[in-house]
Amino acid sequence: MTKHSVIFFDIDGTLLNHKKELPQSTKEAIFKLKEQGHIVAIATGRAPFMFADLRKELGIDTFVSYNGQYVVLNGEVLYTNPLNISSLLKLTEAALLNNHPVVYMDHEDMRANVPEHAYITESIDTLKIGMFPAHDPSYHEGRDLYQTLLFCPEGEEQQYEQEFSDFDFVRWHPVSVDILPRGGSKAHGIEQILIKLGVSNEDIYAFGDGLNDIEMLTAVHNSVAMGNAEDSVKKVAKYVTKSVEDNGITHGLKMVGLLS
């Protein structure tokens, strides 16, 4: 077993259970991996400021955030892929006409283009991050944005998908969709780290459970879907472990031979 394996973990439903808690068994497993000389990293759709406490708790300074749009290696920014602002402003104008608010997000903060909206409150609240976006409709000016949240019921994002080819739309909540640069993914973000480190795909592992993990689990040689993952996610993974609620991380690491 190489001492230079890199293991990427999704956060929600993978590292954190459905109460947004970090199981003690998972925390212990992460530290064992680090003791053995492995590089432990995070690959998430979240913004960097949404999991700063988790990185500190686990001692992790390498991560792929915003589904691949903002990548940090050993505490240093390695790769960024911002949204096309002119297209985003056109989308925002269309969304306002449909009473679909948006939240602009960069690597430091997030701001909403409306003062308040039930969809924003409902979906952001499920993340249990203790923060909500303040109102600043001009937050896009003079800064790079790596993700925007579009708030609309399921199916209503299709009109934007047809009109705005610069973007990919990934639903993460019944009333909220991630807007990402077209072709951006966790897999692409991970690739930037592998190139920099010179690590072969055989020494890469990834754990995930959501639809935004499909590209990652397809691309990574040693891919593990959580037992609580959707069937479409499990189908693309090399392994399927137990649920996050049932020590799934520890079980999965043993399955792939990283822990005894």
Indicate the Cα dihedral angle 216, 43, 148, 54, nearest 10°: 160
- Residue 105 tokens read as 């997000």
User: How, if at all, do strands 6-9 and 39-43 pair?
Assistant: parallel
List 10, 106, 168, 209, catalytic entry: 10
Q: What are phi and psi for residue 189, nearest 5 degrees?
A: -65, -40
Order of strands, edge to edge, in the sheet holding 134-135?
134-135, 110-112, 102-105, 147-150, 176-181, 167-173
Answer yes or no: are the C-beta atoms of 4 and 38 closer than 8 Å.
yes
Answer yes or no: are the C-beta atoms of 8 and 216 closer than 8 Å.
yes
Task: Give the burial class of 99: count Cβ atoms within 10 A of its Cβ; 0-12 exposed, 13-18 middle, 19 or more buried.
Answer: exposed
Answer yes or no: are the C-beta atoms of 72 and 61 closer than 8 Å.
yes
10 is catalytic: yes
User: How far is the C-alpha of 222 from the C-alpha of 204, rounded, in Å?
Assistant: 6
Catalytic positions are 10
